[in-house]
Amino acid sequence: MTEQAGPSALVRHAAGAEQAGFDFEVISDHYSPWLSEQGHAPNAWAVLGAVTQVTGRVELMTYVTCPTMRYHPVLVAQQAATVQSLSHNRFTLGVGAGENLNEHVLGRGWPPVNLRHDMLVEAVDIIAALFDGGHVDYVGEHFQTDSAKLWDLPDTRVPIAAAVSGDRSVGRLAPLADHMIAVDPDAGLCRAWDGVARAESRKIGQFPISWDTDRDAAVARAHDQFRWALGGWKVNAELPGPSAFAAATRFVRPDDVAAHIPCGADVDAVVQAAAAYWEAGFTDLALIQVGGTHQDHFLAAARQELLPALRAAAPN
């Protein structure tokens, strides 16, 4: 999570997660942290390049990149193809419609959600065409390309996963993307995706935990750094900066956060939270350990306790 650790620490955490036995690793792509207490926002693509060189087995993925405002889609396609080559075909490009938090910095304003979806569909069309090879000319309502070409295509085409939150985004993106991304364990969302998708898809979720042998410390840390998450994505996509998230969550109590995020060192609580995702139809699940300076003991616990318990409980 780029919002809670600097670039060197993130690279070290990625290597440690592979050693701990995780199967895949995702990276957020932010220009700003959600809250100033998190304190970080390095460039995700530079970090990914370094991560490809300290890992050799885990799959890698952006969770997620907005390819419409800070980045033009031709640049995203070039970055994704480069990471795929550097990682020897371990990369999936995760894309989404973005958040005001990260995209307003260009001074172009923040479009309404329907326009953001239109922009994302055009962007995915351009990226997919570039992954096909050859020169791409495109004239759309939001983007243009002039004889764009990826000169270093990887051996394996980069899969595209799209973030969705409801029927509208599923209907627009499932026919274009290879896999689904969502943050809520919504069985209806999975069924809707499968009904429209062009092929069998992975459904990739994520949820936070605050692992600590001192539960009170875990709750305090989760409240300090992750209370923003209780607003839901319809709110979180619209607020413009850390100060807005601080104001919006000033009445959120530590107990409110603890009711939504497993806190402490309770393996069963983590398994129960994860079970909601696979019961809804998700195939992959990324765990966020809250707190950039609390990764090492979490990775040790993941190797010894969490991963064995999750694998034993999950369906095949």
**Nearest of 64, 63, 57 to residue 90 by alpha carbon:** 57
Exposed e or buried b per residue across 5-27, where buried means at least 16 C-beta atoms within 10 angstroms of its C-beta: bebebbbbbbbbbbebbbebbbb
**Nearest of 22, 8, 19 to residue 288 by alpha carbon:** 22
Structure letter (DSSP) for residue 65: B
Options 13, 25, 30, 117, the catalytic residue: 30
Decide if 13 is catalytic. no
**Nearest of 290, 229, 263, 295 to residue 22 by alpha carbon:** 295
Assign 3-state DSSP to the chain and report helix, strand, coil percentages, each to 5. 50, 15, 35
Contacts of 283 (CB under 8 A, 6+ apart): 202, 203, 204
Structure tokens at 76: 């995203």
Options 99, 117, 179, 223, the catalytic residue: 99
Phi, psi of 262 (to 5 degrees): -60, 125
Structure letter (DSSP) for residue 263: E
Determine the Cα–Cα distance for residues 158 and 91; give it in Å rounded to an integer. Answer: 7
Phi, psi of 91 (to 5 degrees): -105, 140
Determine the Cα–Cα distance for residues 262 and 276; give it in Å rounded to an integer. Answer: 13
Kindly report the number of other CB atoms within 10 A of residue 106's CB atom: 10
Decide if 25 is catalytic. no
CA atoms within 13 A on the CB side of 205: 22
Pair type for strands 136-139 and 144-148: antiparallel
136: which strand partners? Answer: 148
Which residues are known catalytic residues? 30, 99
